[in-house]
Amino acid sequence: MSKVNTELLKVAMPKGRIYKQASRLFREAGIPIQDDLDDSRKLIIELPEAGMEFIMAKPVDVPTYVEYGVADIGIVGKDVLMEENRDVYELLDLKIAACRMSVIGLPDWEPTFYPKVATKYPNVASAYFREQGQQVEVIKLNGSIELAPLIGLADRIVDMVETGRTLQENGLVEHETIFGITSRLIANRVSYQMKNERIQQICDQLQATIIAKG
């Protein structure tokens, strides 16, 4: 076996909704990952057959681990990538966990002067409204963002929409879509040079699988 194939690769994997789809894609690409890991609570998972070690991270922290080089590569949603703006290479659109970033509010929302916008994504929201030439006050929340317009904390929210069920069940509507979201493969800049063949090989395997799936 060549040196390239035995080199341990540290992979920052997002716990939660992306993980199942990401691990399935890895398996489809021929990377041997057991499916019983999906419900594991282990934070560091050794995968000797794959020559990998998974670091099970909170999704928002994946770009941080990769930027600092404690993970060579990582999988992260485009939403987090845009918000965190970390110094990493974005290698591949994995075309999984598709959703969108939207401006959301009550159906009868009317423009107001200096509206309040609640969001988990303050950088994304600020940049969007700045580009639109609209002055807004951005309020950072950490979850259940849909509460904000319902209880009068904010006029609108910027949040991700996947199935639309949360909006529907809370009587909210999308006013504008800001951008589409899918998960991306990212790499540490130094790892990408030092472990280039290994990372490129995985990238090629994943890309071929994505293309084959159409």
The residue ranges that bind ligand PRP (CB under 6 A) are 143-146, 159-166
Residue the block writes with tokens 């845009």:
82
Looking at the Cβ atoms of 83 and 146, the one nearer to ligand PRP is 146
Looking at the Cβ atoms of 4 and 147, the one nearer to ligand PRP is 147
Which residue, among 94, 42, 95, has the nearest Cα to 203 in the 3D structure? 94
Least CB distance from residue 99 to ligand PRP, whole Å?
7
Q: Where are the alpha helices (DSSP H) in the chain?
A: 3-6, 17-28, 62-67, 78-84, 122-131, 147-150, 165-169, 189-194, 196-213
Least CB distance from residue 75 to ligand PRP, whole Å?
16
Which residues, 6 or more positions from 138, have their beta carbon under 8 angstroms from its beta carbon?
117, 118, 119, 122, 125, 126, 129
Looking at the Cβ atoms of 155 and 159, the one nearer to ligand PRP is 159
Looking at the Cβ atoms of 55 and 158, the one nearer to ligand PRP is 158
Least CB distance from residue 141 to ligand PRP, whole Å?
9
Q: Which residue is nearest to ligand PRP (CB)?
A: 143
